Amino acid sequence: MKKYVFHVLMLAFVLLPLGSSVKAQGFFEKLQYGLEHNFLLPGNEFQISDGYELSNITRGFFRYPLSEKFKLELGGGFGNYSGRDFTKAKYSTDLVPFDARALYKIANWENWQPIIYAGAGILNYTVKQIPWAKQIQNPQKEIETAGWIVWFPLGISIDYKVAEEVTAGLTLGFNYTLSDDLNGYRQGDPKDIWYHAGIHLIFGGGDSNADSDGDGLTNSFEKTIGTDPKNPDTDGDGLKDGEEHNTYKTDPLKADTDGDTLGDYAELKQYMTDPLSKDTDGDTLNDNVEIQKTMTDPKNTDTDGDKLKDGEEVNTHKTDPNKADTDMDGLSDYDELMTYKTNPLDADSDKDGLKDGDEVKTHKTDPLKMDTDGDGLNDGAEVNTHKTNPTKADTDNGTINDGTEVKRGTNPLDKSDDVPKDQPKVDEAIVLEGITFDYNSANIKAESEETLKKALRFMTESPEIEVEIRGYTDSDGSRAANLDLSQRRAESVVKWLQDKGIDPKRMKAKGLGPDNPVAPNDTPANKAKNRRIEFVRTK
């Protein structure tokens, strides 16, 4: 017995380091190695009930998976074939067997695997103790006490996965040899056999083709890439590891492969974006920004179709990537930026009272110039107030531009009032008929507006002329009071013209009271004629 223990320890010493070395090599990671110890029951000519003895055979082996069901096993060992003859004398033979076996997995019940096997091998035997029956055999038959023979193992085993890469099992088997010499006795020509029952322990790759978690990746491959062979979704993103690796090429160890804060499952199944790219459409906005912040389409570079990338709109131009015309002025953001150079955030870039789109499409004015034709009137005033042409400085073709006409009070749509009439001579007086005041006051009545506009037009059209504006009264009242009233009334006219832009240095107010009447102060009508304002050219 001590000899067998020594042999078992020696076999373990040889096989275990070899197996560890094999495991260290990636090429052989599917390879398994193991030890098996069997109790042997011989079968030969000595068929007596009390002639059976149990002997031992120890075997080491390597297994390699050929497919999910089949494995190849190569093994070798040593043991003893012994029992008692008809006389109850002992016989004993040492065995050193080598064999190759084909293993077939009948089923796979979680950690349990029933296996059947069949094989063939060679066996070296040495008869150590010849039975006493050999001495009394009549006639004696010669035997070979040592040599090599062919043998065939058959059997069944049940394996249990104890831990990762560790399997334990039980074996029952039948072994048939092509020799009748193992028991040191020959009678007739039956072949010696033996039965065995044993236990084994297997280390290494186990079933490399198994997919324990059903994720489409074999256990061995999952170990290679670092995923959990017992968890079909290692990163917990809702996608099986096999889907990620084989179909989508995402990282089964990262729930968000591209790092855009959108999980791989959400990108593939919900948003249909690329889980391998932070910016699916290449518009410089990350997919999560488009989905969660800007509400743009992460699969469309230009969500609003204005020919500007969403990223440009958000980061550079500050326009709305969901609106082709951010400021609603009738021009797309692209046209404003690339064609007209207007502000896509301001409907009226030049602040002339007209939208940029109206200027470009309707009025044909310059959306970057308040006064397209340079006539002194902004485009909005020409279109909305004066009804003049904002692209033509002199709408009525009367030789005076629209701004000047408006300023002096003439009609920019009527060319007949553009050219001034003959100017008065120096010291010539012109009565401005129609200028009236409140009773005994210098307040100009509203009905005087038209006459004053004519005076304004005169002063505007003749910038070289200087005038004295004279005020007169009738003869009613004291002279001093009339002189004061006429002076104040003349000054009111000067102020009105000054407020309209006439240089005050060109005008002088003078009140003359009742002097220089143009009619006798004998009737109300004549008195009204004497209450007047005159322009007298002084230069």
Q: Would residue 72 count as lying in a domain?
A: yes
Q: Would residue 348 count as lying in a domain?
A: no
The CATH number of residue 193's host domain is 2.40.160.20
Is pLDDT of 7 > 80?
A: no
pTM for this entry: 0.51
Number of domains in the chain: 2
Output DSSP code: residue 264.
H
Share of the chain above pLDDT 70, in %: 92
Mean pLDDT of the 533-539 span = 89
Structural domain boundaries enclosing 66: 2-204
Is pLDDT of 4 > 80?
A: no
Residue 479: predicted pLDDT: 93
Residue 206 to residues 15, 24, 71, 101, 242, Cα–Cα distance (Å):
17, 15, 11, 17, 20
Q: Would residue 495 count as lying in a domain?
A: yes
Residue 190: predicted pLDDT: 82
Least confident of 19-23, 138-142, 404-408, 431-435: 19-23
Cis peptide preceding 139, ω within 30 of 0: yes
Q: Compute the Cα dihedral for 200, 122, 207, 114 and give only its sign.
A: negative
* Alpha helices, H only, 174-311: 219-225, 241-242, 264-265, 287-289, 310-311
> Are 452 and 435 in contact, with CB atoms under 8 Å apart?
yes
Is pLDDT of 42 > 90?
A: yes
Q: Are strands 507-513 and 467-472 parallel, antiparallel or unpaired?
A: parallel
Cα–chain center distance at 137: 93
Q: Would residue 164 count as lying in a domain?
A: yes
Residue 49: predicted pLDDT: 66
Among 187, 204, 221, the domain-final residue is 204
Is pLDDT of 141 > 80?
A: no
Is pLDDT of 140 > 70?
A: no
Is pLDDT of 17 > 70?
A: no
Q: Would residue 364 count as lying in a domain?
A: no
Residue 135: predicted pLDDT: 75
Q: Would residue 457 count as lying in a domain?
A: yes
Q: Other CB atoms closer than 10 Å to residue 112's CB: what's the count?
A: 12
- Separation between Cα atoms, residue 96 and residue 94, nearest integer Å: 7
Among 204, 220, 245, the domain-final residue is 204
Structure tokens at 516: 């220089």
Mean pLDDT over the full length of the chain: 88
**Phi, psi values for residue 278, rounded to 5°:** -65, -30
Q: Are strands 467-472 and 166-177 parallel, antiparallel or unpaired?
A: unpaired
Q: Which of 455, 446, 425 lies closest to 533 in space, CA to CA?
A: 455
**Secondary structure of 369-416 as H, E, C letters:** CCCCCCCCCCHHHHHHHHCCCCCCCCCCCCCCCHHHHHHHCCCCCCHH
Q: Are strands 90-105 and 112-129 parallel, antiparallel or unpaired?
A: antiparallel
Q: Please report which confidence band the pLDDT of residue 1 belongs to, taking 50, 70 and 90 as the band edges.
A: very low
Q: Would residue 39 count as lying in a domain?
A: yes
Q: Which of 161, 158, 127, 163 lies closest to 145 in space, CA to CA?
A: 127
pLDDT tens sequence across 254-299? 999 999 999 999 999 999 999 999 999 999 999 999 999 999 999 9
Mean pLDDT of the 350-376 span = 94
Residue 5: predicted pLDDT: 41
pLDDT tens sequence across 29-41? 789 999 999 999 9
Is pLDDT of 216 > 80?
A: yes
Is pLDDT of 12 > 70?
A: no
Residue 422: predicted pLDDT: 59
pLDDT tens sequence across 235-249? 999 999 999 999 999
Residue 378: predicted pLDDT: 95
Q: Please report which confidence band the pLDDT of residue 51 belongs to, taking 50, 70 and 90 as the band edges.
A: low
The CATH number of residue 472's host domain is 3.30.1330.60
What residue type is assigned to position 39 of the chain? F
More confident residue, 126 or 24: 126
What residue type is assigned to position 30 of the chain? K
Output DSSP code: residue 246.
I
Q: Tell me if residue 77 falls in helix, strand or coil.
A: strand
Residue 127: predicted pLDDT: 94
Q: Would residue 142 count as lying in a domain?
A: yes
Is pLDDT of 18 > 70?
A: no
What residue type is assigned to position 312 of the chain? E
Is pLDDT of 78 > 90?
A: yes
Q: Other CB atoms closer than 10 Å to residue 477's CB: what's the count?
A: 13
Among 204, 232, 256, the domain-final residue is 204
CA angle 432, 433, 436 (to 5 degrees): 100
